[in-house]
Amino acid sequence: MRTQRTADLWAGLFLAGVGVVVLIAALQIKTAVGERLPPATLPLTLGAFLTLSGLLLSLRSWRSREDGAVIEWPLAGRAWRLAWSFLGLTAYLVLVEPLGMAAASGVFTWGLVWYLDRRWLRALVIAAVTGLVVHFVFVVLLGLTLPQGFWVAE
């Protein structure tokens, strides 16, 4: 029988594993001379955060004395949500170079919020805000070199 405790334990280990993969991949990124922040800064930070939070979730679940609620897995609705999220993430990774990081983040956010909430206007507003935040925080404030997309002249 699967419980919330075992689900959290395995989810934490999975997140920690993804974090380690991100850290390994980020260490392979080449650094150009003269940049304020190297391009590996964001993936290294995210990889460390994923690894640490996954390990903490697993440790907390392992130390817990309660099993928690019984989980019936996989439920059809949840399986479709996971599949849609995976497809959206795959599309995001494919679109980052041609559209640019900010636009691809906006498109990804719009698709995921629309699918989960079914309100297209709310999804559009959240997507626009996400794209603007990604651009201003990472490009303008932090000075990172991110993909800009085909419509930005170099």
pLDDT in tens, 81-119: 888 888 888 888 888 888 888 888 999 999 989 988 888
Same domain, 62 and 126: no
The token duo for 5 is 């405790």
pLDDT in tens, 26-40: 888 777 666 677 777
Range in 12-21, 52-61, 63-72 the model is least confident about: 63-72
Same domain, 68 and 126: no
Domain, as residue range, for 106: 75-154
pTM for this predicted structure: 0.59
How far, in Å, are 36, 78, 80, 98, 122 from residue 116 at the CA level? 38, 11, 11, 26, 11
Tally the C-alpha atoms within 13 A of residue 59's C-alpha that lie toward its C-beta: 7
Same domain, 128 and 63: no
Same domain, 41 and 115: no
Share of the chain above pLDDT 90, in %: 24
